[in-house]
C-alpha cells in the first residue's frame, strides 16, 4: 500500500496500558518522498476528545467549524 501525506488510514491503536487495541483513524504526516523510500511512516491519531489537550506542543486542535478545519 502506498501512503501519501494527508491520507487518513485506519490502524490498530494500542491502549496505554498495552492490554489491547482499538481501530482508530490516523493521519499520515511525512512527505510523499519519505513515504516511498522508508518502510515506516509517521501517523498521528485523530480524535474528537479534547480531554488530553492541555497546551501540549505535541497536540493540535483543529476546529472543523473554521475554514482552516
Own/partner pairs, 11-19, CB within 8 angstroms, 24+ separation: 11/43, 13/45
Distance of CA 14 to the CA centre of its chain: 13
Task: Determine the pLDDT at residue 41.
Answer: 66
Structure confidence at residue 42 (pLDDT): 67
The helix (H) or strand (E) run that includes residue 33 is helix 32-37
Q: List pLDDT tens digits, range 4-61.
A: 788 888 988 888 888 999 998 888 877 667 656 666 666 777 777 766 666 677 677 7
State CA 6 to chain mean position distance: 10
User: What pLDDT sits at residue 55?
Assistant: 66
Q: How much is the pLDDT for 35?
A: 57
Which strands make up the sheet holding 43-45, listed edge to edge?
8-14, 21-28, 43-45
Amino acid at each position: 500500500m502506498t501512503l501519501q501525506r494527508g491520507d487518513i488510514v485506519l490502524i490498530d491503536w494500542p491502549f496505554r496500558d498495552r492490554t489491547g487495541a482499538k481501530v482508530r483513524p490516523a493521519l499520515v504526516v511525512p512527505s510523499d518522498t519519505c513515504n516511498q523510500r522508508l518502510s515506516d511512516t509517521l501517523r498521528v491519531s485523530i480524535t474528537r476528545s479534547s480531554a488530553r489537550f492541555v497546551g501540549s506542543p505535541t497536540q493540535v486542535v483543529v476546529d472543523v467549524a473554521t475554514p482552516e478545519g
